[in-house]
Amino acid sequence: MEKSKENVLVAGANGTTGKQVVSYLKESQYFNPIAMVRKEEQQEQFKIQDIDTVLGALEKELSHVVKGVDKVIFAAGSGGHTGPEKTTAVDQEGAKSLINAAKNAGVKKFVMLSSINADNPESSTTLRHYLEAKRNADNYLKKSGLVYTIVRPGTLKNETGTRKIEAAIDVEPGEITRDDVAYTLVHVLNDDVAQNAVFEMIEGDERIEDAIKQMF
């Protein structure tokens, strides 16, 4: 008897990384993606691929988006170049709201896309507020009682991934492809991978699966 797939909500599904996450989930034999988007016109690109969608805005009530959801990937973000108010609303408070909704719905695992240096916002003058928002959201998740994995990649680039990374609790700043980040976010959804763990990652020499397994 075939095991039914787990429903995975992807917050930020319309973003560059989010779209790749949805694509990897769609290819997976274990997961069924549910793309969370803000606007109706953003649904069509997913519907033509036979991918489930749900309308929801992180700044608004979110209980409906987690109905029937087994796990969550938070890949949303205002980006480091929006104003402080938007960053706080999306990256911090929006994340907290979705964490609350996920907990109330009995979600089994919450995977957070964070950022390298989220524990050290003072490391960057230009991104300090952004990193503070990420740190606050990460800390909220850790204290939520949900099973979690927090992934903190270096500077994102749009090239094809290599499936090889350097991963540790703390790594030197560097770059990594969105492709490899998306693949990693899907990999850590598995129940036996990086439970209640936080790690940073940049491009490197070890296979993603091996690098994460060796850490935990």
How many angstroms separate the Cα of 140 from the Cα of each of 6, 41, 71, 161, 176?
25, 32, 17, 30, 26
Verify whether residue 130 is a known catalytic residue. Answer: yes
211 CB neighbour count, 10 Å cutoff: 19
Strands of the sheet with 197-203, listed across from one edge: 52-55, 31-37, 6-11, 71-74, 109-113, 148-153, 197-203, 164-168, 206-207
CA atoms within 13 A on the CB side of 20: 18
Cβ-proximal residues to 163 (8 Å cutoff; 6+ apart), any chain: 180, 183, 207, 208
Question: 24, 130, 148, 183: which one is catalytic?
Answer: 130
Residues taking part in catalysis: 130
